[in-house]
Amino acid sequence: MKAVDRRDFLKTATTAGLGLSLGARVRTGSNRPLETIRVAIMGVNGRGSVLAAGFAAAPDCEVSYICDVDSEVRDRVAGALVRPRDNGAGPRQEMRPETINDFRRALDDADVDALVIAAPDHWHTPAAIMAMKAGKHVYVEKPCGQNGAEGELLVQAQQRYSRIVQMGNQQRSSPESIELIEAIRSGIIGRPYLAWAWYANARGPIGTGRTAPVPARLDWDLWQGPAPRTPYRDNVVHYNWHWFKRWGTGEVCNNGTHEIDVARWALGVDFPSSVESSGGRFHFSDDWEFPDSQIVNYRFDNNTMLTWNGRSCNGFPVHERGRGVTVHGEHGTAIVDRDGYILYDLGNREIMRHTVSGGGNALDTRGADRLTDLHIANFLGAVRGENELHSPVGEAYKSVALCHLGNIAQWSETAVPVDAATGRPVASRDEQSWGREYEAGWEPSI
């Protein structure tokens, strides 16, 4: 395999009809003017603050509501979004999002077009379904469901209410990643048969929490929402909920969703036929309920395999990267991350690369990067009818299901057989982990 000139490859690929999707595909023949899309942002302590800034900066988009159960957080984020409004007559006035505790107030506003959900995982599906019932489009952060059953329900709701629903796996909007997938589809590394996805960070311990008074600024009851009630503990809010089964989904669903999604995308597979997991909470002894070190193997019926290697507390990089995916094929290998890709032949000689600089910190827990802005633009374009979604929830759910299956396999301590047509575990012992228990009256339904 010779070194490939990227520009020549792109010309050949386009001529061959591959149609590289480097940007949004604009609907032809439409002269409808762009309208201002009004959004409400739910949950703005971490990732939500980045999304709030991104939507506020997008052309013809207005953040109408900042919704958070922590009054200090919502006031801080809303204050950062204040900007002048030029009404074309007289002095300029300030435009400031309205701050509210309960996002459901925003759903009652007929002028709101979309709900952006960055609240904890246990809120993702219930809030998205409420939004669709209210006629709103939805941008929901990963994972699109705290468990497998919720993901299925979310897909069914999208089909019923015909709303635009995009998951926040922003690498799907990376021009470099899209270009690589098209290159793999064209056969540049032969048939891809093995993908290795990884994430390595150096997270600290979360300690042993104690029951404590609820901070005055926090609506603890609404924070819990659909989850069964429990007393407030001092090591949960705002980030450590990720590591508790009552609310979170562990690293495999937290960052694994991103990398497993890219790996599955590159292999061109949907659901596996079996899943195995090995790992544990090795680095610290504390309240953390998920593995901090985990290897999950997924086998697919088309003779391919995907492996997830998650290390939450030891940041030793792989291929000098804290996160990424390698894809091995019959004729070569690809390495891809949020900053681009490199292609190698079977002799490990580089044959092509497309990388960019200034992509941001790949381990930033808020995910502040250029890809977020591209993903937001893709979502807004789909709402306007100008392009297709890069990560519609029906496709995104498949990757999230793999992540949930990784947790189920870890808890089962044995191989989990899977129905490759539906993604559901086959054994009754594993089906029990497919859903969850809800606080009475909070069960999501369509």
Question: For 250-271, what is each residue's pLDDT tens digit?
Answer: 999 999 999 999 999 999 999 9
Q: Which is higher by pLDDT, 6 or 44? A: 44
Which pLDDT does position 21 carry in this prediction? 44
Asked whether residue 30 carries a pLDDT value surpassing 50, the answer given is no
Q: Report the 10 Å Cβ neighbour count for 404.
A: 28
Which pLDDT does position 432 carry in this prediction? 86
What's the pLDDT band for 28 if we cut at 50, 70, 90?
A: very low
What's the pLDDT band for 363 if we cut at 50, 70, 90?
A: confident
Q: Report the 10 Å Cβ neighbour count for 103.
A: 26
Question: For 177-190, what is each residue's pLDDT tens digit?
Answer: 999 999 999 999 99
CA distance 321 to 2: 26
Q: Report the 10 Å Cβ neighbour count for 428.
A: 7
Strand order in the sheet with 340-345: 350-355, 340-345, 332-337, 323-329, 192-200, 304-311, 293-300, 274-280, 416-417
Q: Which is higher by pLDDT, 350 or 25? A: 350
Question: For 278-287, what is each residue's pLDDT tens digit?
Answer: 999 999 999 9
CA distance 406 to 408: 5
Question: For 301-312, what is each residue's pLDDT tens digit?
Answer: 999 999 999 999
Asked whether residue 8 carries a pLDDT value surpassing 90, the answer given is no
Instruction: Please provide the DSSP assignment of 341-373 as one string.
Output: EEEEETTS-EEEEEE-S----TT-TT--SHHHH
* CATH numeric code, 172-209+219-367+390-431: 3.30.360.10
Asked whether residue 89 carries a pLDDT value surpassing 60, the answer given is no
User: What superfamily does domain 27-170 belong to in CATH?
Assistant: NAD(P)-binding Rossmann-like Domain (3.40.50.720)
Domain limits of the chain?
27-170, 172-209+219-367+390-431
